[in-house]
Amino acid sequence: MQLFPKKLRKIWNEWEVRGLILVSLILQIFLIMFGSRRKFTSSVKVRILVWSAYLIADSVATFALGNLANSQADREDNKLSGNVLQAFWSPFLLLHLGGPDTITAYSLEDNELWLRHFLGVVVQVGVAFYVFLRSWSNNVLTFITIPVFITGTIKYGERTFVLRSSSAEHFKNSLLSFPIIDLSRESSYLVQAYFLFQRSACMFANMIVDYYGRNDPIYSIIHHKSAEDAFKLVEAELGFMYDVLYTKATVVYSRYGIFLRCISFFSSVSALIVVSIIIDINSYPVADIFLTYLLLVAAVYLEVYALILSLSSDWTNIWLIKLEIVEAKFPSSSPYNPPQRWSRSMAQYNLISSCLREKQATRIGFLMSKLVDFVLISKLVDFKYWYLTRKRVDTDLKKIIFEHLQGKSNEIIDNFDDYIDNGQSLKDLLDRRGDYVIKGMNFSDKSHQWNTNEVDFSQSLLVWHIATNLCYYHDAEIKDEFHMKREISKSLSDHMLYLLVFCPSMLSKGISFEKKYEDTCNAIKSKISKLKEMSDIEWSQASACKFLLQDAKDKPAVVDDMSVLHVGCMLAQTLLKLCVGANNIISEDRLWNMISEVWVEMLAYAANRCAWKEHGQQLKNGGELLTHVSLLMAHLGLSEQYQMKTYISALPDREWQHLF
């Protein structure tokens, strides 16, 4: 007994190959248009769609090629004309398997699988060649297939080459193929950004780099920039890095790539023209004729679209600047090359808010969490994701970060000889995570436990996150003069906790952090539950923070787990006592200035400790503020990868062989 009726099975058999090829084409169009969008957006929807399309595209094209081979074997001799036309589709599937220029890898792990991908190239090209041989005849379509087949094979192979070049094992060697550029045009932001990229690429490859202090060209580029300009430079620099790691940039912007794209474009155009002239539409099924024209037109469209993207890219502008064809300036924005090169936002996660289960992300997220609770599967779902928000990285935040890093850089520059002789001095400078700021306040009372360098970093971050929140909501009436530092402190506090909880590989976590975090969450929930029992009022985060602070004052700590809630409350009380009451040691303005400086120092500490591989991983998600801080630190001499020297040795004279 057949599950499906004979008529339905007949329709399926006739349209299976056509449907698969059509789906493969749609996926390619989607990937070339949206593949690089994740470079400058943090949207989860975009990431999911691109990820799904990336994974499905190869499978659909491979399955379509296999079905095409089966259909060729099953087709009878009296249908040879249809056999030839469908065989003409096989090289287009190779083009699809080669993928668009805008995305070769979804994550860095895909680059490491280049050898597996190479095996796929051998197998799929073999299948396509089998389809081609099975349909060989004196038909003109057979000869038109040859150049398209060659182009498809080369483009499929170049994807494997790019994956190999971007893998960890070969990335260091691929640096030699990057074009070298000088700084003769110092007015050019784009040239400066590319020059910085040449340095950061070496650091991403974990190479030791020479640094010459004031004599280093990197110093002259970055040190005297404004905060906004410095971040723009790093933004463009990371754009180059993203292209190298996740796209075909290393091939596209080379003599080989330009030559191949000319061949690919003229092959597609000539195939479209010749087929339009010689094909007899009455000799083939209408559906096959339509799909053939669709593949040809789409191939030409994708080539033109890729050309427009290439011409409007930063790489092309670098090439034109080198040839002195255009003025050395940032490329003007266009619909194909958006001026924004990363998300320019940072994720926010608040511990107390998540424990309160308030709607902080979206109404949909809150309602979904309630629905999951209702169907009793809450233990299978991580609710933390519902409470993520994003906040724009504004000019004030950039300024306070850059000024802090400049201050540390000046310490190195002013005592450069000492730092050359004593590597420990640089390590001590980079290991500051709040202790140096508090030490600079010169508090007379040394008995306070500030929870900075005396505990592990994850605990310090969690304690200061709680304390910052309690201080933030302590006084509802905030004066304008310290409102900015207060908001920056809160934003950095929530962002650093997000990194610790959602991106633990980017931060230094203690061995027992998960237990401390879980116990702290349970302690907060327990306190809030008691609070709700005492009153029917719908409690907000502000009222909850005030209650937690007051509760810690009224009741002694009972520590029977690894919760750091009470430690955070005690730190908040210590901070508030500095500017409240008779013991008014500092003004509230200075208090928030100190707290913000502590968080910036923690941010710099985390940026220095984060591996470059982890920074590279985040580029595919719209980028992280931590990555920008890491590169700013590196360009300001704040990196243990530097070998500090007092003179500049002769720089290697390498030609721009990679571009032309």
pLDDT of residue 481: 57
Strand ranges in 372-445 using DSSP code E only, listed in sequence order: 389-392
**Alpha-carbon span 90 to 96, nearest angstrom:** 10
The mean pLDDT value for 350-366 works out to 65
Over residues 52-79, the pLDDT tens digits come to 999 999 999 999 999 888 876 665 544 5
**Best mean pLDDT range from 116-130, 187-201, 372-386:** 116-130
Higher pLDDT, 80 or 274: 274
Given a contact cutoff of 8 angstroms between Cβ atoms, the answer to whether 643 and 210 are in contact is: yes
Residue 437 has pLDDT above 50, yes or no: yes
pLDDT of residue 658: 38
pLDDT of residue 394: 94
Over residues 146-191, the pLDDT tens digits come to 999 999 999 999 999 999 999 988 998 877 666 666 665 455 788 8
Contacts of residue 71, defined as CB under 8 A and 6 or more positions apart, other chains included, come to 17, 86
The mean pLDDT value for 462-479 works out to 84
Over residues 474-524, the pLDDT tens digits come to 865 555 556 899 999 999 999 999 999 999 999 876 667 888 999 999 888
Residue 47 has pLDDT above 80, yes or no: yes
| Cα within 13 Å of Cα(406), Cβ side | 14
Residue 536 has pLDDT above 90, yes or no: no
Residue 1 has pLDDT above 70, yes or no: no
Structure tokens given for 616: 């590279």
pLDDT of residue 468: 95
Given a contact cutoff of 8 angstroms between Cβ atoms, the answer to whether 575 and 467 are in contact is: yes
**Alpha-carbon span 249 to 309, nearest angstrom:** 11
The mean pLDDT value for 351-359 works out to 76
Higher pLDDT, 387 or 625: 625
Q: What percent of the chain has pLDDT over 90?
A: 46
Which range is least confidently modeled, 95-109, 265-279, 584-598? 584-598
Structure tokens given for 612: 């470059």
How many secondary structure helices (H) and strands (E) does the chain include? 29, 4
Residue 331 has pLDDT above 70, yes or no: no
Q: What is the mean pLDDT of the chain?
A: 83
Question: pLDDT band at 3, cuts 50/70/90?
Answer: low
Residue 217 has pLDDT above 80, yes or no: yes
Over residues 588-645, the pLDDT tens digits come to 888 899 999 999 999 999 999 999 999 999 999 999 999 999 999 999 999 989 888 8
Query: What burial letters (b/e) apply to 289-306, b meaning 16+ CB within 10 Å?
Result: bebbeebbebbbebbebb
Higher pLDDT, 329 or 345: 345
**Pair type for strands 642-644 and 209-211:** parallel
Residue 246 has pLDDT above 80, yes or no: yes
pLDDT of residue 360: 39
pLDDT of residue 445: 58
- In the 8-state DSSP scheme, what is residue 385? G
pLDDT of residue 129: 93
